[in-house]
């Protein structure tokens, strides 16, 4: 339960950061977008950033169901859909840790940008931690 709770708190903090960016906040946003040759690889809109925040909240809610913090009709922690979702969450974070072999993850080729350095030092390790914590919560 501690692993799941820790993952939920991290996910909700990340969701709050994305909401901040979606409503126009600027702090840290430039360091969170991959770049190549000085240009952003992606240009997330306010809507897409808000959708990421919503997705992080849904993931947190599924993990909360899994560890018994949240009880929704038909989605108890031992429900097979919740169990599979928890394992999929762990897998997605593990895949993000590995990366796309170009801009993100431990195996990225482009390593000389601000984002790439932060990805190596913080973002990918955080995803690895979330993969482990989600996996522990999934296996309860």
What integer is the mean pLDDT of 24-40? 92
pLDDT at 40 over 80: yes
**139: Cβ contacts below 8 Å, ≥ 6 apart:** none
What confidence tier does 17 reach under pLDDT thresholds 50, 70, 90? very high
pLDDT at 20 over 80: yes
Question: 68-126, pLDDT tens digit by residue?
Answer: 999 888 777 688 899 999 999 999 999 999 999 999 999 999 999 999 999 999 999 99
């Amino acid at each position: 339960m501690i692993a799941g709770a820790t993952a939920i708190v991290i996910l909700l903090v990340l969701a709050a950061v994305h909401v901040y960016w979606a409503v126009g906040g600027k702090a840290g946003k430039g360091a969170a977008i991959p770049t190549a040759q000085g240009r952003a690889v992606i240009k997330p809109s306010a809507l897409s950033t808000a959708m990421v925040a919503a997705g992080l909240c849904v993931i947190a809610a599924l993990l909360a169901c899994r560890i018994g913090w949240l009880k929704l009709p038909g989605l108890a922690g031992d429900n097979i859909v919740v169990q599979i979702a928890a394992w999929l969450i762990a897998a997605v974070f593990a895949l993000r840790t590995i990366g796309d072999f170009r801009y993100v993850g431990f195996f990225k080729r482009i390593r000389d940008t601000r984002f790439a350095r932060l990805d190596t030092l913080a973002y990918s390790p955080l995803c690895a931690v979330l993969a482990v914590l989600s996996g522990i919560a999934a296996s309860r």
